[in-house]
């Protein structure tokens, strides 16, 4: 990435007429991950001073390697469950394993990451009077009895099931964000992200889009869990990143939670058929047991995002999958490894 002109101070950059309203010091926790790396990239390009904090549990340095030479980018290897002192203006708090296989790898660590990690991130926000955004999830709705899911729906989560470490962790994180907001006047934002896919997602994260594309491209059978009639609504990463940034920079009286996702709803079988069509793969669909507590349907109600952020997705599943497949074709799968064992 060409970042020659980013070595200036904020004042110098502003003086030289760069197209920026304001230069911020931005911390992205989980910044080396799938979504975090795209956020870092965008902020570096915009000329902000970016700190990417990550312990590389579900990611690798290669996701941000192209930013390392930029003077306005800094990479810190750190576990968000441990305190850290940094001076920043905005915090995008993304650090947390997101794929079921990743977050169930060490469930205790997952809930610690959500709860203790959020307390640490909120502590920085409080001390620096920084604005802070939580990457929450549609999983707070559990296996929803209301469809599509509006933010007012309080969810149907099994608190003792295998997904609870993630679902309840994020629910507790939302609670912490609102309590820091009410008690300490921290300027918070909460975004509930629905299934998002795109280039740089971990090819072995076990999520449905990465599994199906990898299986199709390597000539393996496509694994449908259950009968494939369960639904998800898939959002392309560019749409998602735009929605998150609009939320961070939106009006202070709209703290959320807000759903950010694509309301186009597909069965898992339909997704498999589309991946086969787009890759031209000669592969079969095979059924595997449905994991416990797998939500039967999911689709965001995005009325709030439209109203307050003037945001809605623009990339169709067909377009987004085509771009994602192209990226999968360009990578060397042997460069990716499963999550690092982490028993802290």
- Residues forming contacts to ligand UDP in the complex (CB under 6 A) are 99-100, 195, 207-208, 211, 223-225, 230, 232, 268, 290-291, 294
Q: What is the longest distance spanned by two Cα atoms in the chain?
A: 60
**Which residues lie below 8 Å from residue 199, measured CB to CB, with a gap of 6+?**
237, 323, 324, 326, 327
Asked if residue 215 binds ligand NAD (CB under 6 A), the reply is no
Displacement of CA 233 from its chain's centroid (Å): 15
- Report the SS3 class of residue 46: helix
- Give the shortest CB-224-to-ligand NAD separation in angstroms: 19
Q: Where are the extended beta strands (E) located within 210-341?
A: 222-225, 231-233, 235-236, 258-260, 265-267, 285-288
Query: Is 336 part of the annotated catalytic residue set?
Result: no
Part in contact with ligand NAD (CB under 6 A); list of ranges 88-96, 218-226, 264-272, 309-317: 88-96
Residue 256 binding target from ligand NAD, ligand UDP, none, CB below 5 to 8 Å by type = none
Residue 294 binding target from ligand UDP, ligand NAD, none, CB below 5 to 8 Å by type = ligand UDP
Strand partners, 134: 93, 190
Q: Which is nearer to ligand NAD, 48 or 298 (CB)?
A: 298
Buried residues in 71-109 as b, exposed as e (16+ CB within 10 A): ebbbbeebbbbeebebebbbbbbbbbbbbbbbbbbbbeb
Part in contact with ligand NAD (CB under 6 A); list of ranges 29-37, 39-47, 212-220, 272-280: 29-37
Does residue 201 contact residue 207 with C-beta atoms inside 8 Å?
yes
Q: Which is nearer to ligand UDP, 181 or 232 (CB)?
A: 232
CA distance 198 to 237: 5
Judged by CB under 6 A, the number of residues near ligand NAD is 29
Residue 125 binding target from ligand NAD, ligand UDP, none, CB below 5 to 8 Å by type = none
Exactly one of 24, 72, 90, 113 binds ligand NAD (CB under 6 A); that residue is 113
Part in contact with ligand NAD (CB under 6 A); list of ranges 30-38, 266-274, 285-293, 324-332: 30-38
Question: In the 8-state DSSP scheme, what is residue 62?
Answer: G
Which position among 103, 166, 180, 236 bears the catalytic label? Answer: 166
* Residue facing ligand NAD at closest CB distance: 33
Strand partners, 25: 49
User: Would you name the residues annotated as active-site residues?
Assistant: 166
Q: Which stretches of the chain bind ligand NAD, using CB under 6 A? A: 30, 32-36, 54-59, 79-81, 94-98, 102, 113, 117, 135, 137, 193, 195-196, 202
């Amino acid at each position: 990435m060409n970042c020659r002109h980013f070595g200036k101070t904020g004042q110098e950059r502003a003086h030289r007429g760069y197209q920026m309203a304001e230069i911020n010091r931005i911390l992205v926790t989980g910044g080396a991950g799938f979504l975090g790396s795209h956020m870092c990239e965008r902020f570096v390009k915009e000329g902000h001073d970016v700190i990417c904090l990550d312990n590389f549990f579900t990611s690798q340095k290669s996701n941000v390697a192209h930013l390392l030479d930029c003077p306005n980018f800094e990479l810190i290897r750190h576990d968000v469950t441990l305190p850290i002192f940094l001076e920043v203006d905005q915090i995008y708090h993304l650090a947390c394993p997101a794929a079921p296989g990743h977050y169930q790898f060490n469930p205790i660590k997952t809930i610690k990451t959500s709860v203790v990690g959020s307390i640490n991130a909120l502590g920085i926000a409080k001390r620096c009077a920084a604005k802070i955004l939580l990457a929450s999830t549609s999983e707070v709705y559990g296996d929803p009895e209301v469809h599509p899911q509006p933010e007012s729906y309080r969810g149907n989560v099994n608190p003792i099931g295998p997904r609870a470490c993630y679902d309840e962790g994020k629910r507790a994180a939302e609670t912490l964000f609102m309590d820091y907001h009410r008690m300490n006047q921290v300027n918070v934002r909460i975004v509930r992200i629905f299934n998002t896919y795109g280039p740089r997602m971990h090819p072995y994260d076990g999520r449905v889009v990465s599994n199906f594309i990898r299986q199709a491209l390597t000539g393996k059978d496509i694994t449908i869990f259950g009968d494939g009639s369960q639904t998800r609504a898939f959002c392309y990463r560019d749409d998602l990143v735009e929605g998150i940034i609009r939320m961070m920079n939106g009006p202070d009286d709209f703290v959320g939670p807000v759903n950010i996702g694509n309301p186009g709803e597909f069965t898992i079988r339909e997704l498999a058929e589309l991946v086969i069509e787009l890759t031209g793969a000669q592969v079969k669909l095979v059924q595997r047991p449905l994991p416990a507590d797998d939500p039967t349907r999911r689709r965001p109600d995005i009325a709030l995002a439209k109203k307050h952020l003037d945001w809605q997705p623009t990339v169709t599943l067909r377009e987004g999958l085509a771009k994602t497949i192209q990226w999968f074709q360009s990578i060397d799968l042997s460069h990716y490894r499963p999550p690092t064992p982490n028993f802290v």
